[in-house]
């Protein structure tokens, strides 16, 4: 069982680290920060909606990854379509899971929702993979969701294609 980080400390540290409004820089920093501070991960990064209903690979840490991912496929597509966090205890039991890395056994995918022209739109997702089954519990989910909130609050985003 991985040692649980102090997520309130991580939130303060990430907030201090994101010292620009540039989303690309902040996404790169956030992926590296999570990969460095959250144990037992084999992939941490973003997919970005740069075409309608298509997720394109963004800044990440880990092995080269599958791309692009349509909203109709994978755990990332489910998070993007449903606009809800997907906490998957066993990726082998998830129909349509996309195995970029065969070592991945559990996954946490958090939608990145931003305000655009007075509406909430799906900018992309944060995807975390672990080589351990059942790696993410409710506290991990809430802690990582808080880090995504900090990334969003710290960044100015390009417009999401309609």
Alpha helices in 18-115 (DSSP H): 23-37, 74-82
Report DSSP state, residue 156.
Answer: B
Helix axes 138-153, 7-17, angle to 10 degrees: 20
Residues 6+ apart with CB under 8 A from 81: 71, 72
Structure tokens at 5: 């980080």
The number of residues that bind ligand SME (CB under 6 A) is 15
Q: Which of 108, 127, 144, 154 binds ligand SME (CB under 6 A)?
A: 127
- State the Cα–Cα distance between residues 49 and 80, nearest whole angstrom: 9
Stretch that binds ligand SME, among 6-14, 24-32, 72-80, 116-124 (CB under 6 A): 72-80
Determine if 75 is a binding residue for ligand SME (CB under 6 A): yes
What track of x and - describes contact with ligand SME for positions 1 through 30 (by CB under 6 A)?
------------------------------
CB of 73 to ligand SME, least distance (A): 7
Is 65 a binder of ligand SME (CB under 6 A)? yes
Residue nearest to ligand SME (CB): 74
| Nearest to 152, CA basis, from 126, 128, 127 | 126
Binding site for ligand SME (CB under 6 A): 43, 65-66, 69, 74-77, 97-98, 100, 104, 107, 127, 129
């Amino acid at each position: 069982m991985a040692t649980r980080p102090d997520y309130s400390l991580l939130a303060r540290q990430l907030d201090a680290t994101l010292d620009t409004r540039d989303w690309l820089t902040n996404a790169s920093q956030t992926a590296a920060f999570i990969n460095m501070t959250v144990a037992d991960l084999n992939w941490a990064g973003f997919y970005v909606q740069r075409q309608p209903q298509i997720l394109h690979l963004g800044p990440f840490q880990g092995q080269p990854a599958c791309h692009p991912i349509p909203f109709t496929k994978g755990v990332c597509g489910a998070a993007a379509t449903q606009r809800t966090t997907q906490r998957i205890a066993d990726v082998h039991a998830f129909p349509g899971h996309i195995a970029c890395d065969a070592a991945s056994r559990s996954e946490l995918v958090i939608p990145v929702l931003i305000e655009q022209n007075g509406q909430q739109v799906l900018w992309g997702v944060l995807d975390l993979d672990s080589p351990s089954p059942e790696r993410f519990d409710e506290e991990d989910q809430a802690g990582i969701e808080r880090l995504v909130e900090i990334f969003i609050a710290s960044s100015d985003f390009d417009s999401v294609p309609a």
